[in-house]
């Protein structure tokens, strides 16, 4: 007997492709938007890298094995083992023709790119040893070339700056020594840096919630129409957009926040959701107190005050100490 959504217990990350809702946690569960269950896989515990493709397919990683899954029944279409232990949760991104998928592992000053040939079902990794700075995101450009979003904190002539850039990370280009290594590069003063691609290599979201356009240097303040809104003390742990691309969603330790990109204002807050939730039609599905809750969307509930924490995503420590110099 399939478990009902109200009976699920545990911490679940929630994803939506416009037709199916996927819950990844102690089990992998697939639901229709009305809450009826499609499938439940007890063998796929704490799956990561959840990524959707056309034809209602999903790619994910579990126990260092990549699974291609049919969403209509939850069954494997095929599997392939990773060549090394999987220690990251970065989702896969796809070439425009969906012939290849890419992801990355940023670990111990080395950057490894995972490349999966979806037609041949073959996987390999390649990387850059002693890669400086943090790698925040990955995307395939319009030609299908994988690019990563990089940031490194430097002191130049006594001034603190963040070196940011979009770097081409294609295997052939890397090992040809091409001059097209960097697609774009720029600097921010102080503790600002780029964190997330917004559907293009030429639109990135910064940690202070602006859209930056590398080709022109233009900026859009996503909080322009919410001047009184104060972000939580700690940085977001995850950035993602909904299926329409209109909403930017942020996961803080105190809850989820949703920003309307078109209107440039905060439109929803959901306290208690410390992991990724999801907009599903006129609802927001979240995991709170280890149970699944379906809240109205949009809805504004105050977030509890966060206590400063020393546990941050890689590269965010400098931002924390800039706010709390007494801890140096």
Q: What is the pLDDT of residues 266-314, one digit of tens each?
A: 999 999 877 899 999 999 999 988 999 999 999 999 998 877 665 444 3
> How many domains is the chain partitioned into structurally?
1
For residue 323, what pLDDT band results from cuts at 50, 70 and 90?
Answer: very low
Flag whether 197 is in a domain. Answer: yes
Flag whether 236 is in a domain. Answer: no
Q: What integer pLDDT is reported at residue 237 of this predicted model?
A: 87
Would the pTM count as exceeding 0.85? yes
For residue 317, what pLDDT band results from cuts at 50, 70 and 90?
Answer: very low
Question: What residues pair up with 196 in beta bridges, in sequence order?
Answer: 205
Phi then psi dihedrals of residue 33, to 5 deg: -60, -20
Flag whether 272 is in a domain. Answer: no
Mean per-residue pLDDT over the chain, rounded: 87
Residue scoring higher pLDDT (170 or 138) = 138
Tokens standing for residue 237: 């742990």
Average pLDDT over residues 8-15: 95
Average pLDDT over residues 99-121: 90
Give dist(CA 28, CA 110) in Å, integer. 31
Flag whether 6 is in a domain. Answer: no
User: Coil, helix or strand for 175?
Assistant: helix
Pick from 240, 228, 253: which is nearest to 308 by CA?
253
Inter-residue contact 161 to 188 (CB < 8 Å): yes
Give dist(CA 239, CA 104) in Å, integer. 16
Q: What percent of the chain has pLDDT over 70?
A: 89
Domain that residue 121 falls in:
82-219
The tally of CA atoms less than 13 A away on the side-chain side of residue 270 is 28
Average pLDDT over residues 239-260: 95
Give dist(CA 229, CA 263) in Å, integer. 15
For residue 185, what pLDDT band results from cuts at 50, 70 and 90?
Answer: very high
Average pLDDT over residues 93-114: 90
Q: What integer pLDDT is reported at residue 24 of this predicted model?
A: 97
Residues 6+ apart with CB under 8 A from 128: 110, 111, 174
Tokens standing for residue 118: 């979806």
Per residue in 122-164, pLDDT tens?
A: 998 887 766 778 899 999 999 999 999 999 877 778 877 788 9
Instruction: Give, rounded to a whole angstrom, the gap between the first and last alpha carbons of the chain.
Output: 56
244 DSSP assignment: T
Flag whether 215 is in a domain. Answer: yes
Residues 6+ apart with CB under 8 A from 129: 109, 110
Tell me which of 47-51, 82-86, 192-196, 322-326 is least confident: 322-326
Q: What integer pLDDT is reported at residue 179 of this predicted model?
A: 46
Q: What integer pLDDT is reported at residue 159 of this predicted model?
A: 79
Pick from 254, 290, 292, 244: which is nearest to 14 by CA?
292
Flag whether 314 is in a domain. Answer: no
302 DSSP assignment: P
Flag whether 168 is in a domain. Answer: yes
Flag whether 315 is in a domain. Answer: no
pLDDT over threshold 90, residue 218: yes
CA-derived radius of gyration, the chain: 20
């Amino acid at each position: 007997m399939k478990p009902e959504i109200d009976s699920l217990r545990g911490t679940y990350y929630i994803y939506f492709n416009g037709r199916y809702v996927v819950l990844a946690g102690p089990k992998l569960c697939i639901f229709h938007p009305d809450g009826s269950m499609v499938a439940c896989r007890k063998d796929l515990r704490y799956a990561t890298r959840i990524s959707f493709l056309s034809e209602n397919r999903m790619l994910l990683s579990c126990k260092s094995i990549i699974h291609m899954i049919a969403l209509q029944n939850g069954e494997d279409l095929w599997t392939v083992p990773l060549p090394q232990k999987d220690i990251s949760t970065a989702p896969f991104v796809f070439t425009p023709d969906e012939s290849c998928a890419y992801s990355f592992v940023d670990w111990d000053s080395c950057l490894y790119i995972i490349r999966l040939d979806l037609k041949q079902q073959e996987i390999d990794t390649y990387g850059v040893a002693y890669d400086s700075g943090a790698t925040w995101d990955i995307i395939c450009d319009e030609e299908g070339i994988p690019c990563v979003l990089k940031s490194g904190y430097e002191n130049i002539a006594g001034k603190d700056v963040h070196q940011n850039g979009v770097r081409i990370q294609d295997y052939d280009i890397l090992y040809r020594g091409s001059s097209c290594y960097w697609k774009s590069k720029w600097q921010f003063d102080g503790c600002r840096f780029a964190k997330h691609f917004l559907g293009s290599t030429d639109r990135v979201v910064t940690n202070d919630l602006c859209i930056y356009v590398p080709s022109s240097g233009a900026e859009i303040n996503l909080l322009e129409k919410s001047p009184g809104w104060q972000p939580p003390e700690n940085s977001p742990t995850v950035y993602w957009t909904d299926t329409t691309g209109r909403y930017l969603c942020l996961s803080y330790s105190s809850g989820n926040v949703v920003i309307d990109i078109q209107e440039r204002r905060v439109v929803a807050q959901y306290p208690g959701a410390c992991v990724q939730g999801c907009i599903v039609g006129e609802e927001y599905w979240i995991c709170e107190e280890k149970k699944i809750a379906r809240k109205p969307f949009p809805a504004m509930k105050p977030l509890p005050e966060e206590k400063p924490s020393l546990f941050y995503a890689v590269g965010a420590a400098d931002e924390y100490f800039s706010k709390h110099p007494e801890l140096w």
